[in-house]
Amino acid sequence: MKRLVPPGDYAVIDLETTGFSAQYHEIIEVAAVRVEAGRVTGVFSELVRPRRYISRQITRLTGITAEMTAGARPLAEVLPDYLAFLAGSDLLGHNIAFDLEFLRAGCRGLQLAAPDADSYCTMRLARRLHPEWSHHRLDDLVRHYDIPRSRAHRALDDCLATQRAFTCLLADDRRQSAGTPEEMAAREEVGSHPRYGAW
């Protein structure tokens, strides 16, 4: 059974892109925060210079313009550093399948080894814990938990918001779970939960 809580240390990841297809679009920003014992201990954040234009739609969504990325390093230079930062960590993200698809496509294009790590998704976790909610987007979690976030759809801000949302979801899980404090502590230490399969 997949663990509810990433074991040991983990890294929260988020990417911003020029569109929604890893086959046709490019990464324009990467970020990650390393978490150890529940505390953020490291940060990686960098814009990426794409080969093609950034549409006005993406600029409206992210605030990232072609001018902002003009002086940035290309993915071929940024990605090895990003992968080195992530090395050895399990990965956590909101709708992480999207980020992993782009990350793996970038690795294939540059003939780099993609991260071989367990991944965990706060969107899927939120759906399992709160099926009564209409939506489970990161924006919804930010509003529900009153999480401070200066900029939506910027990679580092979204990483930090995801990590805080994850902490809130774990608190919800503890409140929802039956059992003695000792049983709850043991379950948290092991990182498993009988109510959940893969997430």
The residues annotated as belonging to the active site are: 153
* Calpha distance 180→174 (Å, rounded): 11
* Calpha distance 169→120 (Å, rounded): 13
* Calpha distance 82→76 (Å, rounded): 11
DSSP code string of 48-109: -B-SSPPPHHHHHHH---HHHHTTSPBHHHHHHHHHHHHTT-EEEETTHHHHHHHHHHHHHH
* Calpha distance 2→55 (Å, rounded): 39
* Calpha distance 123→120 (Å, rounded): 9
